[in-house]
Amino acid sequence: MSARTRRLFDEGRGVCDGLEGRLRYELRFTWLGGMRILDRLEQAGFDVFAARPALGAADIPALVWGAVSWDRPKTA
């Protein structure tokens, strides 16, 4: 069910590398946060009525680490 969304996220990932400065990092945080929300949706069986997936303070270290250690995707 989430395969299409993951594929679209993967296709758009390069946009984060096409920018300079602060905006590059803001897009990285947006991309990483979106992927974490997608992971949580999958874990909850897409039942958003039981519990709405959200990011919180506990997610900040992982998001910061992901943004600063960002690798460009490998091309074939």
Chain segment 14-58, per-residue pLDDT in tens = 999 899 999 999 999 999 999 999 999 999 999 999 989 999 999
Question: Among candidates 14, 48, 46, 43, which has minimal Cα distance to 31?
Answer: 14
**Side chain identity at residue 18, one-letter code:** G
Mean pLDDT of 61-71: 93
Q: Name the band, by pLDDT with cuts 50, 70 and 90, for residue 74.
A: low
**pLDDT in the model for residue 28:** 95
Of the two residues 71 and 37, the one the predictor is more confident about is 37
